[in-house]
Amino acid sequence: MTLIPHTETDAAYVIRNAAAQGTRLALCGGNSRSGFGDPVEGAEAMSSRGLSGIVDYEPAEMVMTAKAGTPVAEIEAALGANRQMMAFEPMDHRGIMGTTGEPTIGGIFAANVSGPRRFVAGAARDSLLGVRFVNGQGQVIRAGGRVMKNVTGLDLVKLLAGSHGTLGFLTEVTFRVLPVPQSVETIVISGLDDAAAAHAMASALALPVEVSGAAHLPQTVKGRFVGGALPEGEATVLRLEGLAASVSVRAEKLAAAMAAFGPVSRLGPGESLALWHEIRDVHPYADGTQKPLWRVSVAPSVGHQLVAALRLEAGVDAFYDWQGGLIWMRMEADPEAELLRRYIKALGGGHATLMRASEQVRAASAAFEPQSDAVAALSARVKHKLDPAGIFSPGKMAGAL
């Protein structure tokens, strides 16, 4: 059974009782990431989806406050009516996770979900201005405010973002939004291998044309995007957004510069929106399987080296986002966690998160990157301060926000 409080007061009452009785709570929103994280037994699920609704939204201020259980679809509809958006472009995990839950705005921030625009617009936490949450003692805490210059509690706001429900039960979030770009266009370079694509993307981002998306789609995945609208061969894709006249001029400059790397073509607004939506939601691996799927973050210059090394020793398929700094990597059988993390360390560091796998595989493989001793000690102190009884479990359901 899932506990679903409908008020912040009810949530605080449930948590106080759990702390008194030593009951562990697995916090979740719409369960769209159910199955993510390390399995944890004996925890009772507690969902924020009973706390729903937009509390305050003034389009002129470009700031919204909403209850944590508000469906993301409702947030996007309200923003879309005013030609505004969440700049960090949060993905929908239901395809890769095979779930049917409704993503919630609290879950987006609790998991710090960020899409292709991340390297220019920041992560979800960078748009988060304030939160209300209930800590492990059942106390309601407010941190942050409605404007970025109000830094009261700002560090606490950042701590809650990406905590996966291990530090507190989010009840309300305040975040900034931005106008939707008037136009979008994508420059496509065809036929590059992974190493050449990394070089091309780095060169594109060094140009004064304001690239807002940079991804490389190897031949193994390219055909699964935008209904086959991409040209033959591997596709290195670069997104430009803004005023229509500006996008047109910048696209001409970028296409001319990228012609030195290979054949260049262009996608208009409709095809571009579809393509980047599918890149955001990792469409090639929304395949209905439980094949191990990793989300790997490394320096953009070494991502292709990591994939090349793993292809020699394991069955792996992959594509690149964030100029190559984010790799979505699917294993054919074994997750190869030890091998993957050893190569990441050898290439200068980064982190790998096991997003999807069978229950048996998850039980044998750590989903999250192991922390260093210093970071683990600091995390433990923060955890003890906000959840002294340790009732918020960091396992399977905590990652299902």
Q: pLDDT of 39-72, one tens digit each?
A: 667 789 999 999 999 999 999 999 999 999 999 9
Q: What percent of the chain has pLDDT over 90?
A: 78
Where would I find the H helices in 175-288?
194-206, 219-222, 244-258, 269-280
The mean pLDDT value for 377-388 works out to 90
pLDDT band for 400, please (50, 70, 90 cuts).
very low
Res 398 pLDDT > 50: no
Q: pLDDT of 235-245, one tens digit each?
A: 999 999 999 99
Q: CA 267 to CA 122: how far, in whole Å?
A: 25
Q: pLDDT of 77-99, one tens digit each?
A: 999 999 999 999 999 999 999 99
pLDDT of residue 396: 40
pLDDT of residue 15: 97
Q: CA 77 to CA 72: how far, in whole Å?
A: 9
Q: What is the 3-state secondary structure (H, E, C) of 344-356?
A: HHHCCCEEEEEEE
Rg of the chain taking only CA atoms, in angstroms: 21
Domain extents for the chain? 2-179+381-400
Cα–chain center distance at 273? 18
pLDDT of residue 37: 75
Topology classification of domain 2-179+381-400 = 3.30.465
Q: pLDDT of 258-296, one tens digit each?
A: 999 999 999 999 999 999 999 999 999 999 999 999 999
pLDDT of residue 401: 35
Residue 116's Cβ-count burial label (10 Å; 0-12, 13-18, 19+) is buried
Res 165 pLDDT > 60: yes
pLDDT of residue 43: 86
Res 399 pLDDT > 60: no
Q: pLDDT of 348-360, one tens digit each?
A: 999 999 999 988 8
Instruction: Report the chain's mean pLDDT, rounded to a whole number.
Output: 91
pLDDT of residue 88: 97
pLDDT band for 362, please (50, 70, 90 cuts).
confident
Q: CA 385 to CA 38: how far, in whole Å?
A: 23
